[in-house]
Chains A and B, each alone.
Chain A
């Protein structure tokens, strides 16, 4: 064999009761390359990764996997076997302990010992050496809870590398990162590559494959559609391969006709109620028109989420500025008040903040809306059911019934449940905080179409997004945030990625109005 293969997956199939999760999957990964994997949710990426790190042990699937020429036979006992074999995974959900330091987390479970006591000096010096070797810019003594998401990710990577991993699996590493942090991660990947570490890179953000990967495998419905050098692909080609159908536009163009301004925020300042010395919103001005989509762009930490949760009455304590609805000044001190003014928020972390995962679709959708079906001692279940069903149908939530727990749904359908829940409250302003994060391409498209429909029917929509392309593709105007303040609003016709980034990083400042 002329190529130096580190991982040779051949003919792997895995079935669950009633589902073929993987069918005859063969992928060859060369030593030292960054190998991208993409596919819609449910395409089989996660299943394949779980096989590679031993969650599904050898014997529970068919086919063979060779790691450096030797067959990989992981037992069911623990994922430590995979780590010992040289495969480490950095999960989408971060698995660090907040109250421990970077060093403690990296060496968790394998602390260097001096007799029975932990050898702290060695632990921290080894951590420092590790961080330096891979050019990771974090202090070994920093507490995880004080770090940004990007730094946590670096700690996770360092933890994986401390095990001498030869294959590093990165499962959607950028889903929570800001653009600057993504750049940093790309730099780290280059360093890893230079050090000879092989990476399997899973992501939903297709642009990233073109920045980092050497080769990309596309999965669809449990099969490998193609494995090709990244240079031979384009985003459009990849999307087509993933969904198996033509999708000429990633962002559906609606027939939005923005009307008059009905919501104005001016000079808004707010501080963190838990830490009143910290001002989180430091002067925000914007207007929202009926039937328009206002995009909010900005780096992670620029105060986007803090702004919208403050507008929803559930985060900051407003210290200055006015909020006007239909020209009238309004006060918002709680979610209930915001709802009464017709403001709804689809929060950023759908599992952590948007849904009660173990409850049913019905219960989740009706949760904020029970007042309309209820008298003091009774919920009118007929009304609840029929109205919930109307929304579930009009948003085409795919589920066997309304009585299934939302945790069993796919990310896209979960997001539709959150949106339904807020649409039912009859809002006039719908705020969407990163609505398509972690959702596959097909479902994203449906969410975009829904946003268009809503705007066309007169809603004012505010959308936060971490993806510049999404902001540019969906908005009528884009407000850019920088360090807690609004740094100008750009009309979509004049907005470009460069202009937005210049504002988001404070290189260019909006003229004071």
Chain B
């Protein structure tokens, strides 16, 4: 039995290597700077990576179809300053107050926040429609179309902010999106939910494999995997609920709201990628566009919706970005596109198209964020941080390529 375990492990080495690399980064930084291991930081790191991670979920689809989106950084930045401007100038609140004079200030805040979120999501999707049209309908190569978009959104940011920072001081509900913590109780419900879902999935998938006589890995391995991830989530929840620190202020206990959003988006997009026609077609288009076309797949339509999805997720990230920073700044989102693309590639998405997973991209985003945070906490000169990120990216891809060669 041990042999079969080792065997399956070896076969799936690639997916484990990412996790191992992540653990190595965490352990390394924890030794170097004890603050890395603190509850504060652990609570923070996932929140911070969520902004990248949400976009990475869309970027996987874009890259899988053989495209690229360079505009997501400034695009998200643009959405974030629009959100900030709507709040800063009370664009929504003022007419709402006039319309519903009986609303409490808190109610007004919540309602305007909901409206702004919906508007910004629509703005993101609209940007996706715009780019999708240029790429899928007009046939402009994605690299060029989105390079253009990058410039356009940068201009958009400057036009909206007029070179100033727009502070979101009036609406705490909005800031909750990125800064809020869910009650500790919710964390435990989450763990239970994850456990139920993971273990059900193991048994259902095994039942199906058995029914169709598909070779499957050892049950112990499957259970261990599900158990491992449940424990991971449990560990995280225990830390962020600060169970070891009874003196901690209740206001700093709990799972960040944004992390739950990321998890939901991740699960949804992972499902879409393997269980819907849209997902399958995206992989087929990237794997062999001609074969996909001759299989009756509407390439334009599918590409169009890939960019619309990317746009909507970019909108979501923009919303979170404004809430996290607490303001709309002129430099908002700049450089995020590189982190997002790097996250996908670290996570095993092939730039040639046809290959890539959501799970990998999220782990990739986590690696990038962990690295960035660690270097910052160690007071590594920020001029050198990019250098290290760049080297890690190249090293990871090189290792992957040489591993593939060895197998071949």
CB of B296 within 8 A of CB of A336, answer yes
Cβ–Cβ < 8 Å partners of A347 in chain B = 294
Out of A312, A355, A381, A401, name the residue touching B291 (CB < 8 Å).
A355
Cβ–Cβ < 8 Å partners of B211 in chain A = 382
Which residues 335-371 of A have a CB within 8 angstroms of B?
A: 335-336, 338-339, 345, 347, 352-359, 363, 367-368, 370-371
Taking the complex as formed, is B113 at the interface, i.e. its CB lies under 8 A from any CB of chain A? Answer: no
Binary contact readout B268-311 vs A (1 if CB under 8 angstroms, 0 otherwise)? 00001001110011011001101111111110000000000000
Known: A367-B284, A374-B276. A354 touches B294 (CB 8 A): yes
Cβ–Cβ < 8 Å partners of B276 in chain A = 374, 377-379
Which residues 219-255 of B have a CB within 8 angstroms of A?
A: none
Q: Give A335 to B294 CA distance when docked, in angstroms.
A: 6
Which residues 226-241 of A have a CB within 8 angstroms of B?
A: none
Taking the complex as formed, is B132 at the interface, i.e. its CB lies under 8 A from any CB of chain A? Answer: no
CB of A359 within 8 A of CB of B284, answer yes
Which residues 482-498 of A have a CB within 8 angstroms of B?
A: none
CB of A356 within 8 A of CB of B287, answer yes
Taking the complex as formed, is A389 at the interface, i.e. its CB lies under 8 A from any CB of chain B? Answer: yes
Q: Give A113 to B375 CA distance when docked, in angstroms.
A: 51
Cβ–Cβ < 8 Å partners of A355 in chain B = 288, 291
CB of B280 within 8 A of CB of A353, answer no
Q: Pick the most buried of A335, A359, A367, A401: most chain B CB atoms within 10 A of its CB.
A: A367
Taking the complex as formed, is B391 at the interface, i.e. its CB lies under 8 A from any CB of chain A? Answer: no
Min C-beta distance of A13 to chain B, whole Å: 21
Cβ–Cβ < 8 Å partners of B292 in chain A = 356, 367
Binary contact readout A384-425 vs B (1 if CB under 8 angstroms, 0 otherwise)? 011001000000000011110000000000000000010000
Out of A339, A370, A385, A386, name the residue touching B277 (CB < 8 Å).
A370
Out of B214, B275, B291, B298, name the residue touching A354 (CB < 8 Å).
B291
Q: Give A357 to B296 CA distance when docked, in angstroms.
A: 17
Min C-beta distance of B304 to chain A, whole Å: 16
Cβ–Cβ < 8 Å partners of A352 in chain B = 288, 290-291
Cβ–Cβ < 8 Å partners of A335 in chain B = 293-296
CB of B215 within 8 A of CB of A401, answer yes
CB of A334 within 8 A of CB of B296, answer yes
Cβ–Cβ < 8 Å partners of B295 in chain A = 335, 367-368, 421
CB of B294 within 8 A of CB of A345, answer yes
Cβ–Cβ < 8 Å partners of A111 in chain B = none
Min C-beta distance of B402 to chain A, whole Å: 15
Taking the complex as formed, is A314 at the interface, i.e. its CB lies under 8 A from any CB of chain B? Answer: yes
Closest to A370 in B: B277
Cβ–Cβ < 8 Å partners of B294 in chain A = 312, 314, 335, 345, 347, 353-354
Residues of A within 8 A of B (CB): 312, 314, 334-336, 338-339, 345, 347, 352-359, 363, 367-368, 370-371, 374, 377-379, 381-382, 385-386, 389, 400-403, 421
Cβ–Cβ < 8 Å partners of B283 in chain A = 356, 359, 363
Q: Give A347 to B288 CA distance when docked, in angstroms.
A: 14
Seed contacts A354-B294, A374-B277; 14 additional CB < 8 Å A-B pairs = A335-B293, A338-B296, A352-B288, A356-B354, A357-B287, A363-B280, A367-B291, A367-B297, A368-B296, A377-B272, A378-B276, A379-B275, A401-B214, A403-B215
Top 9 A-B pairs, shortest CB-CB distance: A356-B287, A368-B295, A335-B296, A336-B296, A356-B288, A367-B295, A353-B290, A370-B277, A368-B296
CB of B275 within 8 A of CB of A339, answer no
Closest to B290 in A: A353
CB of B280 within 8 A of CB of A356, answer no
Known: A345-B294, A347-B294, A355-B291. A367 touches B280 (CB 8 A): yes
CB of A381 within 8 A of CB of B290, answer no
CB of A359 within 8 A of CB of B277, answer no
Cβ–Cβ < 8 Å partners of A354 in chain B = 291, 294
Cβ–Cβ < 8 Å partners of A357 in chain B = 287-288
Out of A359, A386, A401, name the residue touching B287 (CB < 8 Å).
A359
Closest to B352 in A: A358
Taking the complex as formed, is B208 at the interface, i.e. its CB lies under 8 A from any CB of chain A? Answer: yes
Cβ–Cβ < 8 Å partners of B298 in chain A = 334, 336
Cβ–Cβ < 8 Å partners of B354 in chain A = 356, 358-359
Min C-beta distance of B352 to chain A, whole Å: 10
CB of A382 within 8 A of CB of B208, answer yes
Q: Give A338 to B294 CA distance when docked, in angstroms.
A: 10
Closest to A367 in B: B295
Min C-beta distance of A77 to chain B, whole Å: 16
Q: Pick the most buried of A336, A363, A370, A403: most chain B CB atoms within 10 A of its CB.
A: A370
CB of A403 within 8 A of CB of B275, answer no
Q: Can you list 22 residue pairs at the A/B interface with Cβ under 8 Å?
A: A314-B294, A334-B296, A336-B296, A336-B298, A352-B290, A352-B291, A353-B294, A355-B291, A357-B287, A357-B288, A358-B354, A358-B355, A359-B287, A368-B297, A370-B277, A371-B277, A377-B272, A377-B276, A401-B214, A402-B214, A403-B214, A403-B215
Q: Give A363 to B283 CA distance when docked, in angstroms.
A: 10
Which residues 126-141 of B have a CB within 8 angstroms of A?
A: none
CB of A385 within 8 A of CB of B212, answer yes
Q: Give A421 to B284 CA distance when docked, in angstroms.
A: 14
Cβ–Cβ < 8 Å partners of A378 in chain B = 275-276
Min C-beta distance of B209 to chain A, whole Å: 9
Closest to A349 in B: B290
Min C-beta distance of A340 to chain B, whole Å: 9
Min C-beta distance of A428 to chain B, whole Å: 16
Closest to B274 in A: A379
CB of B284 within 8 A of CB of A356, answer yes
Cβ–Cβ < 8 Å partners of B281 in chain A = 370
Q: Give A400 to B214 CA distance when docked, in angstroms.
A: 10
CB of B280 within 8 A of CB of A370, answer yes
Min C-beta distance of B348 to chain A, whole Å: 13
Closest to A359 in B: B287
Binary contact readout B150-184 vs A (1 if CB under 8 angstroms, 0 otherwise)? 00000000000000000000000000000000000
Binary contact readout B186-201 vs A (1 if CB under 8 angstroms, 0 otherwise)? 0000000000000000
CB of A381 within 8 A of CB of B275, answer yes
Cβ–Cβ < 8 Å partners of B290 in chain A = 352-353
Closest to A422 in B: B295
Out of A339, A377, A382, A402, name the residue touching B296 (CB < 8 Å).
A339
Q: Give A85 to B281 CA distance when docked, in angstroms.
A: 48
Cβ–Cβ < 8 Å partners of A400 in chain B = 215
Min C-beta distance of A378 to chain B, whole Å: 6
Cβ–Cβ < 8 Å partners of A379 in chain B = 275-277, 280
Cβ–Cβ < 8 Å partners of A345 in chain B = 294
Cβ–Cβ < 8 Å partners of A368 in chain B = 295-297
Q: Give A374 to B215 CA distance when docked, in angstroms.
A: 25
Cβ–Cβ < 8 Å partners of A371 in chain B = 277
Closest to B283 in A: A359
Q: Give A403 to B209 CA distance when docked, in angstroms.
A: 11
CB of A353 within 8 A of CB of B277, answer no
Q: Give A94 to B344 CA distance when docked, in angstroms.
A: 33
Closest to A403 in B: B214
Q: Pick the most buried of A356, A374, A389, A402: most chain B CB atoms within 10 A of its CB.
A: A356
Cβ–Cβ < 8 Å partners of B277 in chain A = 370-371, 374, 379
Q: Give A368 to B215 CA distance when docked, in angstroms.
A: 26
Q: Give A354 to B291 CA distance when docked, in angstroms.
A: 5
Min C-beta distance of B247 to chain A, whole Å: 47
Closest to B215 in A: A401
Cβ–Cβ < 8 Å partners of A385 in chain B = 208, 212, 214
Q: Give A382 to B277 CA distance when docked, in angstroms.
A: 15
Cβ–Cβ < 8 Å partners of A382 in chain B = 208, 211
Closest to B355 in A: A358
Q: Give A389 to B283 CA distance when docked, in angstroms.
A: 21
Cβ–Cβ < 8 Å partners of A403 in chain B = 214-215
Cβ–Cβ < 8 Å partners of B293 in chain A = 314, 335
Cβ–Cβ < 8 Å partners of B272 in chain A = 377
Min C-beta distance of B294 to chain A, whole Å: 6
Q: Give A385 to B292 CA distance when docked, in angstroms.
A: 20
CB of B212 within 8 A of CB of A386, answer yes
Min C-beta distance of A306 to chain B, whole Å: 14
Cβ–Cβ < 8 Å partners of A367 in chain B = 280, 284, 291-292, 295, 297
